[in-house]
Chain A
Amino acid sequence: MSGHDRISELYRGKLWGEPEQRAARARIDWICARAGGRVLDIGCSQGIACLLLARAGQTVVGVDRDPQAIAYAQDELSREPAEVQGRLRFLLTDAGAIPGAEGVFDSVVLGEILEHQDDPERLLLIARERLRPGGRVIITVPFGLHPDPDHRSTFYLSSLVEQVGRHFRVSEVAIAQKYILCVGVRSDEASEATALSADELLRLSEGALLEAERAYLERERALREKLEALRRQGAEKLEAAASEQKRAQAEIEKLRQKQRAGEEERRRLQASLGEREALLGQAREELERERRRAEEARRALERSRAELEKTQDLLGEERRRLESLGLKLRGALARSEEARQKVQTLSRDAERQRAEVVRLTQTLSGLRGGVRYRLGDALVSCFYQPRRVLSLPGNLLNLAREGWRRRRARRHARSGLLPLALTPRATPAASEKPQCAESAPAADDLLERLQRFLERVAQSDPAQPLVFMFSGTIFMQEKRANRPIRLTRALRARGAPVLFSYFRWDRQEPVPRDDDPLLLQSPIDRTLELIRLILERDFGRRQKLFVLSFPYPEVLRFLNECSAHGWVTYYDVRDDWEEFSRVGMARWYDRACERYALSNCDLASAVSEPLRRKMEALAGRPVRLSPNAYDPEFLKSGFPGEPGDKPAETILGYFGHLTDRWFDYPALFELACTRPEDRIELIGHGLPEGLTLPPNVSYRGFLSHEEICRVARRWRCGLIPFVPGKLAEAVDPIKIYEYLALGLPTAAVSMPQVESYPYTHLARTRAELPSAVERCLAERIDGARIRAFLEQNTWARRVEQILEWAFAAEIRPALRSLAVPPGGQA
């Protein structure tokens, strides 16, 4: 082996393909089977044969003049066990330069090396010199022509045998896989002939030729098949190309037709354009006429504006006059208020003095009625009127008797045995006092009550926040208790003072009184008059919360003043007021005002998710979710969530507002018709006048909570049949919590907020309401589940959440510093 052939890698299967690897292994194994004893491998290349021989126990020297080959061989040897390494050496040298000290060998291997020589004879001579007599030379060379460009000699069987036979006795020859394998023995006898006869050589040659021809024919056949396959592929591709060409031609034809059509259209449009230009000319003339008319109108407008300015000047004069009158009136009011307060103070003083006079008068009467005084008077009168001496004994006796009676009465009083006649009359019990919850104090009494309320607040627990509930509801009551009222009750239950502003339509309507010292109610018209007194009052470090329950335009101007005075402003969005205004309610509503409220309050929340999203879009800032809740006071008896005893018949029911603005009477009537065997009961206020109810629908009136509970416990299902739409979608009805407390499943029109509530079935349309009722009636109520839900959704919890938000929110400190007096601290 010579050059940098990679026989070792080929032997190990790292190169070429399986046939080549198999053939190489066969050749190497053939060599190793015939080499033995002390072996010299001339042209050992990567040393695979040497390595195999050394493993087999032979002593081997491998020689090659290719440094890369020897380096590879050495590297391979270094991974062998020590005993193998001890039997094998590699020398980087030419065959002719092998040191003489190496001595002679038993075998010399010339594996695939002779064909690379210009003078193969030289190596044969070297091999003979290095062999002991009788030693063997093992030779492999390619048979015939080989494509390797480094092959300089070509061997056929006879030529090799002839050449080897000049120096060795050829003992074995074979041809395998286009290689000649030959073994020669060193013989010094000139007469020893080659072991093979000419016929044998010829047979071997013919065998090799046959093998070569077979290989050639096989290759030719493979090439023909490949050519045929390529020809078929080519034909198919040609056919495909021809089809593609036909399609392309058809496409081109279509495009040409389109082009022709386009040309037609262009000609037609050009004709049309001419007509339109004519029309345009006419339009321009018309425009010019309009412009002239507009100019005339503008001049007329200028004249009108001049007239208007003159009128405005006159209005200005009038306004100044009215301002002057207003100033006078304010001054008079201020002086009147001052005088009234003085009068009140004087009245109180006078009252105290009157009481003192009465007390002194009584004392004097007591003294004059006393026995001793009368005794003295009797004695003195005798001095001034001597005739009285005659009656003196009788008078003295009477006085003694009276004195004795009084002493006896005092003794009896101390022992609790007072005669009935002397028992003081009982004062009327507080409960017997006339109820005046709905009666009217004088309207100007409210200022005084407000001042007393604020003083009580100042003296109350400073840890409790003061809440100003600007509600749009009626005054505090049980029957129509909506969100602001419920929140106020919860606030009062936790000890927070509340100033509750309620809506009244008639200024003559009396203002209710409360027994609760830390609750003051004020009608909205008076609230707006007194609001500055409240805002400017100093409450020290007490937290203050202004709850805007509806975006009433006239209060919005105070929002930032609230902030400046340290109030946290909170817009509690409890309804979609815009939708309310669309159905004719909330006539005060103005979208711009609501937006201003959302932007200028410190925080805002809404009762339902759809409403929250709407407000958030309007405000462009986060709005929280604070649904309505359950009032544990609602259920006067029984356990929340436990269904009551039901009658045999099925009764469905609704309680709440009955206005047809949102109560869907057609849907209710439809439901009544589809369930003629059931009864439907309605409780509440606002029933439209003249409404004819179906025979199985009845109106029970406007009941108290206790009565509602008693009636509704008989129902099997609570209804909320609101008109489908944005108004219904925005709500979180308080009644649903109450239905649940009564153990009732609820059938409601689409209200996304309540979808996840227990035992609640939604109808997306009117037509679905009966099926929602059916699902309700099929429910098995688990009271524990309802109680768990209600416990998480009480007004007390809502209040705590709101207070947490409010006082975690950053009060605008910069704005607040406006309210601090100069020299004070924010």
Chain B
Amino acid sequence: MKICFCYRYLILGGVTTQIANRLRYLAGRAEIACLYLEDFGGACALRDLSDITVCGDAAGQRRYFSERRFDVVSVIDSPMIYPPLLDSGFRGAVVNEVHTTTKNLAYLDGLRRDSRALARIRAIFTPSRYLANRIQGEFGFGGLCPVRVVPNCLDTHTFSPDPAPPFPNRPVVLWVGKLDEHKRYTDFLEIAAALKRAGVVCEFWLAGGQTAKHERALELYRALDRLDIADRTRWLCQVEYARMPRLYALAAGSGGCLVITSSDESFGMTAAEAMACGLPVVATRVGALPELIREPETGFLVELGDVEAAANNVTHVLGDPVLRQRMAQAARARVERICSIESAGEAFFAAIRAAVEDA
């Protein structure tokens, strides 16, 4: 089977990581190629793949599809591919993958109205039941096209519990993400302040947000000052993706946990990475997170904005090493079952085969 993945940006990021992880399962089972519309230096993430094409013009794209004769083309959040794809005379199966964050789903409205494209799409793949429900309901794809849940793929060999010291002296309560309203980093700061007021001994690390503007950084410093948590809060604005397993391991080894305060998550990749590394998670009950986190075995869920409940759960986790250990093992097992390279790769391959056979 010849599969082509199409995405707009060849850039280091979530989609490229997903493709790279899938490659490790699909190698030997299928021939894989990638077509990108613009190159932002992400080829280094696809070391194992030689068949990478970057083409930004429609004519070139038409030729590409016409000449290569794939069995399946998987279009990942890139609706501009459809006109040249369909104009090329491509006869194979088309699937549309939705990986984007929920605020960027608006393109699905246009896709639904594009009857020509809609007629060729065999299935929509999306990583969570939550997103699948939204695509079917809110964006009206229910009844138009099968929507299949294909979990994201996580390299659970790299993201694994790493017991190697040194660990921080105090438990680390970790938060990962951009400093924006979607991730609601300010909620995390409020949780930190509540924990300090309650006398909980710990540190707070915010990882990410290297692209935050200076004004946003100032907001952060001022919030730390206003909430009187500057003495125990560290901002690591850039941590390379390859170092993330070590970051989760540091937090886990210190006796800490991960806190997620997002207002929405299409899959919860950060939570999955942390769980794979044995780091307990306290997250908001939003988006796809309840599908990933089974409360209380693998983590805790709180309502969006409920600072007090989150602080209480964090206190509980930090104060009970037996609970942490149990939770870490259960979370790791769950992630391996749902989104390891083997399990997620197998789910993807099965979905692709089903889409081909649906012709």
A interface residues (Cβ-Cβ under 8 A, vs B): 316, 320, 327-328, 330-331, 334-335, 532, 553-554, 556-558, 560-561, 564, 590-593, 595-596, 598-600, 619-621, 812-815, 817-822, 826
Contacts and interface: CB of A to CB of B under 8 A. Distances in A.
B217 A595 contact: no
A596 B250 contact: no
B166 A813 contact: yes
Contacts of B214: 553-554
B225 interface: yes
A590 B237 CA distance: 20
A596 B236 contact: no
Nearest to A620: B231
A328 B238 CA distance: 20
A621 B158 CA distance: 38
Interface in B226-260: 226, 230-239, 242-243, 245-247, 250, 254
A553 B217 contact: yes
B138 to A, nearest CB: 15
Nearest to B39: A331
B221 interface: yes
B168 A818 contact: no
A453 to B, nearest CB: 23
Contacts of A596: 221, 224-225, 230
B254 A560 contact: no
Given A327-B40, A553-B218, A595 B103 contact: no
Nearest to A816: B166
A328 B235 contact: no
B252 to A, nearest CB: 12
B250 A818 contact: yes
B230 to A, nearest CB: 5
B243 A560 contact: no
Nearest to A320: B104
A327 B36 CA distance: 14
25 contacts: A320-B104, A330-B40, A553-B217, A557-B210, A557-B212, A557-B235, A558-B237, A560-B235, A564-B239, A592-B221, A592-B222, A596-B224, A596-B225, A596-B230, A598-B230, A599-B231, A600-B235, A813-B166, A814-B166, A814-B168, A814-B169, A814-B254, A815-B234, A817-B166, A818-B236
A292 B313 CA distance: 40
B162 to A, nearest CB: 9
Interface of B: 9, 11, 38-41, 103-104, 158, 164-169, 210, 212, 214, 217-218, 221-222, 224-226, 230-239, 242-243, 245-247, 250, 254
B246 A820 contact: yes
Most buried by A among B11, B214, B237: B237
Given A595-B224, A814-B166, 5 more contacts: A320-B104, A590-B221, A592-B221, A592-B224, A814-B254
Contacts of B222: 590, 592
Given A556-B221, A822-B158, A327 B9 contact: yes
B174 to A, nearest CB: 12
Contact of B237 (A327, A557, A819, A826): A557
Contacts of A320: 104
Contacts of A331: 11, 38-41
Nearest to B215: A553
Nearest to B162: A822
A817 B246 contact: yes
Contacts of A619: 231
Given A621-B231, A812-B168, A593 B218 contact: yes
Nearest to A593: B221
A485 to B, nearest CB: 27
Nearest to A621: B231
Interface centre among A560, A598, A819 (most CB of B within 10 A): A560
Q: Residue among B231, B232, B250 with the most chain A CB within 10 A?
A: B231
What are the 3 A-B residue pairs with the smallest beta carbon separation, nearest first? Answer: A592-B225, A813-B166, A331-B40
A593 B223 CA distance: 10
A814 B221 contact: no
A600 B246 contact: no
A591 B225 contact: yes
Contacts of B158: 822
B22 to A, nearest CB: 21
B312 to A, nearest CB: 25
* A331, A590, A820, A826 — most chain B CB neighbours (10 Å): A331
Contacts of A561: 236-238
A647 B242 CA distance: 72
A220 B235 CA distance: 101
Residue among A564, A619, A814 facing the most chain B CB atoms (10 A cut-off): A814
Contacts of B104: 320
B230 A595 contact: yes
Given A331-B39, A818-B250, A599 B242 contact: no
A63 to B, nearest CB: 88
A560 B234 contact: yes
A775 B158 CA distance: 74
A819 B236 CA distance: 12
B234 A600 contact: yes
A577 to B, nearest CB: 14
A592 B237 CA distance: 18
A334 B239 CA distance: 20
Nearest to A328: B38
Nearest to A330: B40
B38 A560 contact: no
A328 B236 contact: no
Contacts of A330: 40
Nearest to A596: B221
Contact of A819 (B217, B224, B225, B243): B243
B9 A557 contact: no
Contacts of B224: 592, 595-596
A592 B230 contact: yes
